């Protein structure tokens, strides 16, 4: 049994069916049902779910997000395009990066994925006391349904390796990948080393987590101190790029409802997911 999981206290439909256990889907179902409830006191939402999360993940969760599926959980969306933020009362903390910061139904991305970032925390959500830096490692093993349905596409693995060769990841690049190679050869080398569904092992190696890489030196003492002193603080180590946020607008009589992110060169690099920003925001 995985070290993050215990059999839940709910009905059998929430239990992990052996090798087919899908933790991101289980958490998504739990959160979707939980956030549809009405609370007499909105400030109780985190305290109320903490007991449920403890039964699933023991103490391995942070402000409503389990460590074992953190990369999925942090991609939460509000079910409605407009929503209100949850105002904390004395002693409560609802960080903006967590789903607990907004009212109403919440959905999460439940398909298996792997992160290009390393998340870390330096406090807990129970007593807010400073703790040793804790790196939130990605999910450690592929699940049965991932092995069957969600294999890493060869071109995705080649893109990851090209970024790795350019120094975008902290892990040690395997020797066989260092020489110059064309796209097809990179795909074959990746297939040979990690297999068709080796995305978990590949990203662990790229991030250096399988090598027990010390990430303490990746976060400055100032950032760690700030995270410790600010309840709800979280840190992320990754590549970054400056973008310009362009709100929804009318284009030739047609309303484009997407919030777009533009790079410095002027091209659109991404759109903000629906539900991740309230349309009540004043631009």
- Note the pLDDT of residue 15: 40
The residue from 66, 81, 107 where one domain ends is 107
Which is nearest to 233 in space by CA: 136, 126, 120?
120
Q: Is residue 1 included in any domain, yes or no? A: no
Q: Are residues 149 and 252 in the same domain?
A: no
In this prediction the pTM is: 0.73
- C-alpha distances (whole Å) from 11 to each of 30, 45, 78, 204 are 12, 21, 26, 34
Domains identified in the chain, total number: 3
Q: Is residue 250 included in any domain, yes or no? A: yes
Write out the two tokens for 241: 């790029």
Q: Report H helices in 208-277.
A: 221-229
- Note the pLDDT of residue 97: 92
Q: Are residues 101 and 196 in the same domain?
A: no
Q: Is residue 189 included in any domain, yes or no? A: yes
Q: Are residues 131 and 224 in the same domain?
A: yes
- Note the pLDDT of residue 125: 64
Dihedral of the alpha carbons of 143, 146, 148, 151, in degrees to the nearest 10: -130
Q: Are residues 253 and 220 in the same domain?
A: no
Mean pLDDT in order along the chain per 10 residues (283 residues): 38 40 72 82 81 85 89 87 78 88 85 77 68 72 48 69 88 92 88 78 82 77 82 86 81 67 86 65 51
Q: Is residue 139 included in any domain, yes or no? A: yes
Q: Are residues 231 and 249 in the same domain?
A: no
Q: Is residue 5 included in any domain, yes or no? A: no
Range of the domain at 257: 244-273
């Amino acid at each position: 049994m995985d070290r993050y999981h215990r059999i839940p206290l709910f009905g059998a439909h929430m239990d992990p069916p052996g090798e087919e256990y899908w933790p991101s889907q289980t958490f998504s179902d739990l959160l979707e049902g939980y956030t549809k409830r009405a609370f007499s006191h909105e400030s109780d939402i985190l305290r109320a779910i903490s007991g449920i999360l403890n039964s699933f993940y023991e103490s391995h969760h942070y402000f409503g997000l389990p460590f074992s599926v953190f990369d999925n959980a942090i991609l939460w969306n509000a079910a409605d395009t407009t929503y209100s933020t949850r105002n904390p009362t004395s002693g409560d903390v609802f960080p903006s990066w967590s789903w607990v910061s907004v009212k109403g139904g919440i959905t999460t991305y439940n398909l298996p994925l792997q992160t290009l970032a390393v998340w870390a925390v330096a406090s807990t959500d129970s007593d807010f006391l400073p703790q040793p830096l804790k790196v939130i490692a990605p999910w450690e093993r592929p699940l049965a349904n991932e092995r069957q349905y969600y294999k890493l596409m060869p071109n995705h693995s080649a893109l990851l390796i090209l970024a790795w060769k350019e120094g975008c990841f902290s892990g040690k690049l395997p020797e066989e990948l260092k020489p110059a190679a064309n796209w097809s050869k990179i795909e074959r080398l990746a297939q040979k080393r990690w297999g068709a569904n080796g995305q978990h092992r590949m990203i662990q190696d790229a991030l250096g987590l399988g090598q027990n890489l010390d990430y303490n030196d990746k976060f400055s003492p100032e950032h760690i101190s700030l995270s410790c002193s600010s309840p709800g603080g979280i840190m992320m180590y990754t590549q970054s790029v400056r973008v310009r946020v362009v709100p929804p607008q009318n284009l030739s009589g047609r309303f484009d409802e997407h919030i777009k992110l533009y790079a410095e060169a002027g091209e659109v690099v991404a759109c903000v997911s629906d539900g991740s920003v309230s349309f009540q925001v004043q631009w």
